[in-house]
């Protein structure tokens, strides 16, 4: 299932930029229905400044998605490029395969200091899928080294997205992303997520946490390696945990010797107002996977942050973790990450998000008078609106209606009004907002005004159908 492209209106009078033609002919855009651009222009973004980006014709857009949940410090931060340039002059590249260099060492130490508990070992990757892949492999290898090699399964949640490499994909719980590539790496098992908007009122709030234990018992605990969860699940629309969810999951994992991976590719580096999402929800993972906002996406980089306990079997004698990526810990990316952490700290962006999240949320809650707004949920600068046919009954749109609403109308209309956000139907139809951490009242108002205009029109058009 492709994410809904925010197609631009075709330039009038047959005028087409060379870039447009080249993009259409040669650029294979990810998760994109390329045919959507047969009669529409590819949105070509050429410049960014703060919370805004500009297209090739100079039109300004509010980046309500931080590109893809990742430009946390905002656009146009020349100092991040300067950090990369300074590092290039010093040492453009060396790998972390048996060698180290100062930026990777300093960054690993800084991450270890910020990460919760004894998560002190940092294994760098090029991005999020590689971080997840690394965590899944580390958990398996850890069990094997302790004589528990039959622990190979991973439990993840329905509709969750954990990346696209075949191992990470086996944890991803979105059937349409899995089906074209099956058979996947064996061992991926799925349990209900925490999306409780339609739960019966009498349901135990920890039902979804307990479903993890049921699944572990069903699979036989001695075959289960790890549980992988995001602090707030992105796919499905910012699904937050119930109170006590993670405490219960931690207990369950400990009871059955299963490791807990916190997939924080989105939910770290201030996105939820804390360095790590697990700190916001007060739980101690065995491994954190991260990427995206680590460098504010100015350079590709991810990391797997493992506990001392997990690293311990790999520290002695002839043992080693037989895994790596050429570009893991790239010195230029590490230099950018260090400069990015300086910005987060210097500008107190975590404090800013924590202080302003209620205002962002109130703006979205203010849209509830529109008869298409069903639920508003999320945490920090990571919020979603679930769209429904009827907020009273919570009735959702069928596939055709959803296709029209998201692809046929909303994504294009929001973009035309100058708002970049995510319209998504990997679960129920949602609009997701994840602005740069510098966003403030002015941007919230702008987002609110555009959403109101476009959603009002959507309601009118739906009423005409
Ligand atoms: C929770 C989560 N895990 C893993 C990934 C994969 O990251 P990447 O696209 O950098 O490979 C993503 C990407 O959005 C993600 O949101």
Does the beta carbon of 386 sit less than 6 angstroms from any atom of ligand 1?
no
Average pLDDT over residues 246-258: 98
Q: Does the CB atom of residue 129 touch ligand 1 within 6 A? A: yes
Query: Are 224 and 123 within 8 A, CB to CB?
Result: no
**DSSP class of residue 49?**
E
- Say yes or no: CB of residue 3 within 6 Å of ligand 1: no
- Residue 334 gets which letter from DSSP? H
Q: Which atom of ligand 1 is nearest to the CA of 168?
A: 4
305 Cβ closer than 6 Å to some ligand 1 atom: no
Runs of H (alpha helix) within 146-244:
166-171, 175-178, 207-219
Quote the ligand 1 centre to 431 CA distance (angstroms).
18
Q: For the chain, how big is the Rg over CA atoms in Å?
A: 22
In whole angstroms, give the CA distance from residue 259 to residue 244: 18
Pocket test for ligand 1, best of 128, 238, 271, 422 (most atoms within 8 A of CB): 128
Once rounded to an integer, what is the mean pLDDT over residues 309-327?
A: 96
pLDDT in tens, 112-156: 999 999 999 999 999 999 999 999 999 999 999 999 999 999 999
| Spacing, Cα 162 to ligand 1 middle (Å) | 6
> How much helix, strand and coil, in percent to the nearest 5, is found in the chain?
45, 20, 40
Annotation: CATH topology of 12-73+348-464: 3.90.1150
Q: Residue 5: CB within 6 Å of ligand 1?
A: no
Residues 51, 276 contacting (CB under 8 angstroms): no
Burial class (CB in 10 A: 0-12, 13-18, 19+), 103: buried
Tens of pLDDT along 88-112? 999 999 999 999 999 999 999 999 9
Alpha carbon distance 436, 76 (integer Å): 12
Segment 327-368, tens digit of pLDDT = 999 999 999 999 999 999 999 999 999 999 999 999 999 999
Hey, which CATH number is domain 78-346, 3.40.640.10, 1.50.10.20, 3.40.50.880, 3.20.20.140? 3.40.640.10
Whether the CA torsion 339, 340, 342, 347 is positive or negative: it is: positive
CA pair distance 451, 441, nearest whole angstrom:
15
In testing the pocket of ligand 1, which one of 68, 161, 188 has its CB within 8 Å of the most ligand atoms? 161
- Please answer whether residues 232 and 269 qualify as being in contact, where contact means their C-beta atoms are separated by less than 8 angstroms: no
The whole-angstrom distance between residue 321's C-alpha and the CA centroid of its chain comes to 26
Torsion of CA 300, 7, 417, 12, to 10 degrees: 130
Strand partners, 266: none
Pocket probe mutation, ligand 1, options 132, 188, 434, max atoms within 8 Å of Cβ: 132
Q: Is the pTM of the predicted complex or chain greater than 0.85?
A: yes
**Residue 16 — pLDDT band, cuts 50, 70, 90?**
low
Ligand 1, atom nearest to 132 Cα: 4
Q: Give dist(CA 215, CA 134) in Å, integer.
A: 23
User: Which ligand 1 atom is at minimum distance from the Cα of 163?
Assistant: 6
**Ligand 1 atom having least distance to the Cα of 69:** 14
Ligand 1 centroid – CA 30 distance (Å): 13
- Enter the tokens of residue 327: 């570009």
Share of the chain above pLDDT 70, in %: 96
Q: What is the pLDDT of residue 4?
A: 63
Residues in the chain: 465
Could you tell me where in the chain the CATH 3.90.1150.10 domains are found? Answer: 12-73+348-464
Is residue 461 over pLDDT 50? yes
- Residue 9's pLDDT band (cuts 50, 70, 90): low
Tell me the average pLDDT of the chain.
95
What is the whole-number distance in angstroms between the Cα of residue 172 and the centre of ligand 1?
A: 10
Q: Give the position, in ligand 1's atom list, of the atom nearest the Cα of 302.
A: 10
| pLDDT tens sequence across 18-28 | 999 999 999 99
Beta strands in 291-428 (DSSP E): 302-307, 373-379, 382-387, 419-420, 422-424
Any ligand 1 atom below 6 A from CB of 265: yes
- Range in 116-125, 137-146, 176-185, 394-403 the model is least confident about: 394-403
Distance, in Å, from the CA atom of 36 to the CA atom of 17, rounded to the nearest integer, reads: 18
- Residue with the smallest CA separation from ligand 1 atom 3 is 162
The residues of the chain that CATH labels 3.40.640.10 are 78-346
pLDDT in tens, 193-225: 999 999 999 999 999 999 999 999 999 999 999
Residues ≥6 apart with Cβ < 8 Å to 422: 3, 4, 65, 430, 431, 432, 433, 434
Q: Separation of 418 CA from ligand 1 center, angstroms?
A: 26
């Amino acid at each position: 299932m492709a994410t809904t492209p925010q197609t631009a209106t075709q330039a009038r009078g047959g005028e087409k930029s060379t870039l447009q033609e080249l993009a259409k002919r040669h650029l294979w855009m990810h998760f994109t229905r390329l045919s959507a651009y047969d009669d529409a222009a590819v949105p070509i973004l050429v410049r960014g400044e703060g919370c805004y980006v500009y297209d090739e014709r100079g039109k300004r857009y509010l980046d309500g998605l931080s590109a893809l949940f990742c430009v946390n410090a905002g656009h146009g931060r020349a100092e991040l490029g300067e950090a990369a340039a300074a590092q290039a002059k010093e040492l453009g590249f060396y790998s972390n395969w048996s060698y180290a260099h100062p930026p990777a060492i300093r960054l690993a130490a800084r991450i270890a200091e910020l990460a919760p508990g004894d998560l002190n070992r940092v294994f760098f990757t090029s991005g999020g899928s590689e971080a997840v892949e690394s965590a899944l492999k580390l958990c398996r290898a850890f069990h094997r080294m302790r004589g528990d090699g039959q622990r190979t399964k991973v439990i993840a949640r329905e509709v969750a997205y954990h990346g696209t490499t075949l191992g990470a994909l086996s944890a991803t719980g979105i059937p349409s992303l899995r089906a074209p590539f099956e058979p996947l790496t064996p061992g991926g098992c799925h349990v209900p997520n925490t999306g409780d908007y339609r739960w019966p009122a009498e349901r135990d709030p920890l039902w979804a946490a307990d479903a993890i234990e049921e699944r572990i018992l069903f699979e036989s605990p001695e075959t289960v390696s790890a549980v992988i969860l995001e602090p707030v699940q992105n796919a499905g629309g910012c699904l937050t945990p119930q109170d006590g969810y993670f405490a219960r999951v931690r207990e369950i994992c400990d009871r059955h010797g299963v490791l807990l991976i916190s997939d924080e590719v989105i939910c770290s580096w201030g996105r939820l107002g804390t360095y790590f999402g697990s700190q916001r929800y007060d739980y101690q993972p065995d491994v954190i996977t991260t990427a995206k906002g680590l460098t504010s996406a100015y350079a590709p980089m991810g990391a797997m942050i493992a506990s001392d306990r997990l690293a311990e079997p790999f520290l002695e004698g002839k043992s080693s973790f037989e895994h790596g990526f050429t570009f893991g810990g790239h010195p230029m990316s590490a230099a950018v990450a260090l400069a990015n952490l300086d910005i987060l700290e210097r500008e107190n962006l975590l404090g800013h998000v924590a202080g302003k999240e209620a205002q962002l949320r109130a703006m979205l809650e203010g849209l509830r008078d529109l008869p298409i707004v069903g639920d508003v949920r999320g945490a920090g600068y990571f919020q979603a609106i679930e769209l429904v046919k009827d907020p009273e009954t919570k009735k959702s749109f069928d596939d055709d209606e959803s296709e029209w609403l998201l692809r046929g109308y909303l994504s294009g209309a929001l973009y035309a009004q100058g708002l970049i956000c995510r319209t998504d139907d990997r679960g129920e139809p949602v609009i997701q907002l994840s602005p740069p951490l510098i966003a403030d009242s002015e941007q919230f108002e702008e987002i609110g005004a555009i959403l109101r205009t476009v959603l009002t029109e959507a309601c009118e058009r739906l009423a005409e159908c």
